[in-house]
Amino acid sequence: MYWIVGAIRACLLGFWLLFIINTLMPFDGYWGLSIMAVGVLIMTLHLAELAVVYQRLVVVGRADRRDVVGVLLFGVLHWLPLLRNRTSKVNDHAEPNDVDKDDAP
């Protein structure tokens, strides 16, 4: 499963590289227009995603510049593991109730 996420991340990085190159030196015809349209759409979705998820990232202490850029580049592939890891650590460290209700004075 991890190699699939890694492959998707590599594809996204490749796409963002193409998007930047297309912005600086536009490709001719359909390719240039398509890359620009898809890039703007993905960036708009990732900005909306960041607006929704940002407060949860602040709560888990992962709202620094690196994580914001990660959400803008990779979207759910970046923030979902952060939130899953943090919530599983919180649940693992939950202390059991030391006093049973029957033993209470």
Q: Is 102 a domain residue?
A: no
Q: In this predicted structure, what is the pLDDT of residue 84?
A: 84
User: DSSP of 1-54, one letter per residue?
Assistant: -HHHHHHHHHHHHHHHHHHHHHHHSPPSHHHHHHHHHHHHHHHHHHHHHHHHHH
Q: Quick one: tokens of 54?
A: 């940002």
Quote the domain boundaries for residue 34: 2-92
Q: In this predicted structure, what is the pLDDT of residue 70?
A: 92
Per-position pLDDT tens, the chain of length 105: 788 988 999 999 999 999 999 999 999 989 999 999 999 999 999 999 999 999 998 998 888 999 999 999 998 888 888 888 876 665 555 444 444 444 444
Q: Is 103 a domain residue?
A: no
Q: Is 78 a domain residue?
A: yes
Q: Is 47 a domain residue?
A: yes
Q: What is the DSSP letter of 64?
A: S
Query: Alpha carbon of 100 to those of 30, 89, 94, 96, 97: distances in Å?
Result: 70, 25, 16, 10, 7
Q: Is 104 a domain residue?
A: no
Global pTM exceeds 0.75: no
Q: How many domains does the chain have?
A: 1
Q: Is 32 a domain residue?
A: yes
